[in-house]
């Protein structure tokens, strides 16, 4: 787990006494400094039936007591997820190996009296939030791995998704990347690193606009200079391909990348490694999509992030392109010998062509 995150500590019952049953459990747990009980506290296995239970506070010696009792008999051989206790590591807790000890364990039987198992010691590896390769440092390559994961959905290069989830909302997106970049630039986590989640910010949505032009689609949003990064998904008609994505304003230092995830689905990510803002434009047109012969497009799951780490969500947007608009997208295509070719590049054989005065390789 990572500093500032909450994770579940799951305790299972494993025993060789296959004929015995348990009705009650009590124990004390030694919690290390820098850890506290999370909001969900104690959660019990449904095999307890309808139990009575109590969970105390952490005392001055860092011990916490708990007791569970039920008329339902638990099988002696084993119970998965006997109970679950949520533990939260404070944001300033130093990454290291920490130990949790279960002590004074008492199992009470329905008819067999009592049993006192040995103490149990467990360890927790605590890492820096954002250190997704667990090398002890948060560096630019950590952010690069997260970007690749967002684009492809593949957890390769040894990325640890838990450590990449900077706001602990169980979703990896450009917001997490920008939190990571802020940490890299300032050598400390933003004070509200875990406060901004999709759940708390999902009520405010804005609208984006789509415009057709001779090489594809332009995306416009209100006041783009508010933001430093963005992410959205594109769905196209079958057999239509997107050739490229670009920023239409004079923003410098911004990277914009896209990946084809399915036959007609793409993901686009744009960000600045310096966390700089996007440049303003007079018409708010921000992004150009190079999509020849487009027929239909849908923009979905669009989020934009400010320098301060605030997320703005945009409503999904769909648009169908009328045939008259498609006719204005006729391309000028010649082979390398200068011969005029069909205007639909999908009908071309493999080779090198001059399309709209640019050299293009058809594969």
**Per-residue pLDDT at 338 exceeds 60:** yes
- The residue behind tokens 């992410």 is 231
> What pTM, to 2 d.p., does this model score?
0.65
Give pLDDT tens digits for 58-74: 999 999 999 998 888 87
The predicted pLDDT at position 19 comes to 54
Is residue 70 a contact partner of residue 137, using CB atoms and an 8 Å limit? no
Q: How far is CA 185 from the centre of its chain?
A: 21
The predicted pLDDT at position 345 comes to 67
Q: How far apart are CA 3 and CA 273, in angstroms?
A: 24
Residue ranges of the chain that CATH labels 2.60.40.680: 6-125, 204-327
Q: How confident is the model at residue 248 (pLDDT cuts 50, 70, 90)?
A: confident
Q: How far apart are CA 195 and CA 189, in angstroms?
A: 12
The predicted pLDDT at position 202 comes to 47
The predicted pLDDT at position 195 comes to 44
204-327 belongs to CATH 2.60.40.680: yes
The predicted pLDDT at position 267 comes to 92
Average pLDDT of span 331-339: 78
More confident position, 157 or 30: 30
The predicted pLDDT at position 326 comes to 47
**Per-residue pLDDT at 247 exceeds 60:** yes
- By DSSP bridging, strand 244-247 and strand 285-290 are antiparallel
Q: How far is CA 92 from the centre of its chain?
A: 23
Average pLDDT of span 42-57: 86
- By DSSP bridging, strand 227-236 and strand 265-272 are antiparallel
Environment class of 166 (CB within 10 Å of its CB; exposed 0-12, middle 13-18, buried 19+): buried
Q: How confident is the model at residue 327 (pLDDT cuts 50, 70, 90)?
A: very low
Is residue 101 a contact partner of residue 119, using CB atoms and an 8 Å limit? yes
**Per-residue pLDDT at 253 exceeds 60:** yes
The predicted pLDDT at position 104 comes to 93
- The pLDDT mean for the chain works out to 82
More confident position, 16 or 95: 95
Fold topology of 6-125: Immunoglobulin-like (2.60.40)
Q: How confident is the model at residue 302 (pLDDT cuts 50, 70, 90)?
A: very high
The predicted pLDDT at position 354 comes to 81
The predicted pLDDT at position 341 comes to 78
**Per-residue pLDDT at 178 exceeds 90:** no
Give pLDDT tens digits for 108-151: 876 667 888 889 999 999 998 888 888 888 888 888 888 888 88
The predicted pLDDT at position 2 comes to 86
**Per-residue pLDDT at 331 exceeds 90:** no
Q: How far apart are CA 200 and CA 2, in angstroms?
A: 21
């Amino acid at each position: 787990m990572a500093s500032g995150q909450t994770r579940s500590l799951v305790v299972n019952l494993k025993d060789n006494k296959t004929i015995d049953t348990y009705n009650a459990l009590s124990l004390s747990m030694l919690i290390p400094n820098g850890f506290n009980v999370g909001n969900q506290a104690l959660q019990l296995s449904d095999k307890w039936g309808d139990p009575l239970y109590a969970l105390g506070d952490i005392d001055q010696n860092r011990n916490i007591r708990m007791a569970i009792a039920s008329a339902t008999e638990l099988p002696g051989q084993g119970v998965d997820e006997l109970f679950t206790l949520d533990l939260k590591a404070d944001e300033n807790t130093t990454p290291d190996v920490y130990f949790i000890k279960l002590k004074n364990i008492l199992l009470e039987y329905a008819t067999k009296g009592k049993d006192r198992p040995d103490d149990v010691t467990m360890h927790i590896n605590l890492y820096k939030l954002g250190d997704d390769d667990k090398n002890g440092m948060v560096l630019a390559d950590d952010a690069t791995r997260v970007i690749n994961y967002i684009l492809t959905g593949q957890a390769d290069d040894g990325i640890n998704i838990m450590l990449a989830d900077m706001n602990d909302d169980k979703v990896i997106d450009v917001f997490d990347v920008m939190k990571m970049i802020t940490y890299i630039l300032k050598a400390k986590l933003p004070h509200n690193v875990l406060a901004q989640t999709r759940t708390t910010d999902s009520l405010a949505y804005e609208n984006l606009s789509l415009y057709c032009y001779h090489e594809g689609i332009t995306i416009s949003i209100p006041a783009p200079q508010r933001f430093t990064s963005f992410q959205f998904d594109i769905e196209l008609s079958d057999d239509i391909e997107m050739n490229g994505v670009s920023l239409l304003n004079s923003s410098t230092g911004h990277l914009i990348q896209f990946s084809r995830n399915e036959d007609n689905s793409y993901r686009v990510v744009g960000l600045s490694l310096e966390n700089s803002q996007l440049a303003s434009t007079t018409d708010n047109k921000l992004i150009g999509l190079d999509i020849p012969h487009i027929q239909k497009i849908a923009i979905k799951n669009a989020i934009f992030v400010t320098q301060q780490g605030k997320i703005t969500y945009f409503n999904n947007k769909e648009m169908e392109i009328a045939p008259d608009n498609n006719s204005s997208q006729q391309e000028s295509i010649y082979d390398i010998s200068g011969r005029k070719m069909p205007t639909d590049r999908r009908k071309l054989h493999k080779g090198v062509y001059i399309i709209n005065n640019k050299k293009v390789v058809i594969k």
